[in-house]
């Protein structure tokens, strides 16, 4: 595959357990090799990639040129599947070769160590959610920035069209009094998928006034969050008991159920926002917003 010299060159880091982002994110830029992608250990990825049209549906302004994972054989498979020309044995070796970094791992405990060399080098870095599991650790990562906006971090579901309200939805709902979000799998890694879209929906509700955390013997966790405006929000991680991610918005006139469905669209929109931040100097999701998300994640881990 030829790589346009005018495109931004990106390096990608992976692979954390249960997280196939290096395959999918790279393919959104580079396209993919169908035969190699068929043996990707995440069958949902070739499934939704197969519904797209490449190169029409790719992000045109950048290409992933370098990859590192913890095992050379994994890196080489991702490289074949997602048409990445260079495999490196040390992720620091990407410095000087790329214009930006995709830290496509959701193991937050490694984010500081893995992002630090790139932040020190002045490269823009997209760090997969959650940035950190505590506000203290998030502050430590932000302190490594060489300039404001160097770090871009989010759940891609913050960009999911299915998890947004239209003006017509808001008119039908009336005054919103409560929102309930639920996600599959575990609280630390998956709660951002519902917290971020809900915070986008509610906007500024002042300060958080109370947390209440409950956990079932089966491992389902719910965090109730009360706001200064008296709005109530509820976030639940349901473990293995569901395959869906959804948000129920309850107004005084009606309710609306929002169900996440389009992984490709959400990933592409989030990655495009990162590229636009580099090329068009658009500010990333604010540090204040990210810290509010992390405060809810942290509450779910420390309040029982």
CATH number, position 206 = 3.30.360.10
* Three-state secondary-structure class, residue 224: strand
pLDDT at 219: 81
Q: Are residues 225 and 166 in the same domain?
A: yes
Q: Are residues 21 and 130 in the same domain?
A: yes
Q: Are residues 165 and 231 in the same domain?
A: yes
Q: With respect to residue 302, please indicate whether it lies within any of the assigned structural domains.
A: no
Task: Report the Cα 281 to chain-centroid distance in Å.
Answer: 20
DSSP 256: E
Q: With respect to residue 202, please indicate whether it lies within any of the assigned structural domains.
A: yes
Q: Are residues 69 and 198 in the same domain?
A: no
Q: Are residues 110 and 245 in the same domain?
A: no
**Residue 42 backbone dihedrals phi, psi, to 5 degrees:** -125, 90
Q: Are 41 and 17 in contact (CB under 8 A)?
A: no
Strands of 35-92, DSSP E: 62-68, 86-87
If one counts the domains in the chain, the total is 2
pLDDT at 221: 95
Q: Are residues 131 and 203 in the same domain?
A: no
Residues 187, 194: Cα–Cα separation, whole Å: 10
Q: Are residues 147 and 165 in the same domain?
A: no
Domain, as residue range, for 19: 8-156+264-285
Q: With respect to residue 136, please indicate whether it lies within any of the assigned structural domains.
A: yes
Q: Are residues 90 and 216 in the same domain?
A: no
pTM of the model: 0.95
pLDDT at 1: 42
pLDDT at 67: 98
| Residue 160, CB-side half-sphere exposure with 13 Å CA sphere | 24
Q: With respect to residue 304, please indicate whether it lies within any of the assigned structural domains.
A: no
Q: With respect to residue 291, please indicate whether it lies within any of the assigned structural domains.
A: no
We report the CATH number of the domain holding residue 125 as 3.40.50.720
Low-confidence ranges of the chain (pLDDT < 70): 1-5, 303-304
Q: With respect to residue 297, please indicate whether it lies within any of the assigned structural domains.
A: no
Residues 222, 165: Cα–Cα separation, whole Å: 23
CB atoms closer than 10 angstroms to residue 26 = 26
pLDDT at 303: 55
Q: Are residues 196 and 126 in the same domain?
A: no
Q: Are residues 222 and 272 in the same domain?
A: no
């Amino acid at each position: 595959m030829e790589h346009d010299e005018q495109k931004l060159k990106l390096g990608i880091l992976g692979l954390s357990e249960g997280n196939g982002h290096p395959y999918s994110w790279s393919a959104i830029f580079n396209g993919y090799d169908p035969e190699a992608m068929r043996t990707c250990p995440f069958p949902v990825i070739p499934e939704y990639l197969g519904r797209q049209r490449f190169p029409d549906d790719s992000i045109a302004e950048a290409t992933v040129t370098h990859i590192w994972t913890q095992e050379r054989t994994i890196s080489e498979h991702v490289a074949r599947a997602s048409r990445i020309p260079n495999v490196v044995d040390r992720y620091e070796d990407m410095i000087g070769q790329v214009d930006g970094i995709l830290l496509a791992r959701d193991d937050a405990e490694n984010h500081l160590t893995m992002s630090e060399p790139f932040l020190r080098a002045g490269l823009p870095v997209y760090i997969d959610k959650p940035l950190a599991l505590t506000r203290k650790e998030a502050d430590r990562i932000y302190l490594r920035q060489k300039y404001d906006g160097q770090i871009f971090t989010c759940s891609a579901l913050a960009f999911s069209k299915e998890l947004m309200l239209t003006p017509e939805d808001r008119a039908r709902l009336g005054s919103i009094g409560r929102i309930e979000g639920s996600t599959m799998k575990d609280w630390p890694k998956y709660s951002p998928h519902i917290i971020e879209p809900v915070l986008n929906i509610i906007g500024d509700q002042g300060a958080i006034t109370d947390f209440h955390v409950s956990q079932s013997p089966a491992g389902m966790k719910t965090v109730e969050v009360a706001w200064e405006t008296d709005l109530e929000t509820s976030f639940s991680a349901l473990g293995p008991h569901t395959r869906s991610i959804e948000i129920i918005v309850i107004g005084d006139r009606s309710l609306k159920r929002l169900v996440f469905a389009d992984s490709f669209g959400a990933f592409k929109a989030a990655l495009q926002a990162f590229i636009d931040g580099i090329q068009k100097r658009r500010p990333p999701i604010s540090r204040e917003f990210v810290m509010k998300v992390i405060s809810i994640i942290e509450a779910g881990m420390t309040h029982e």
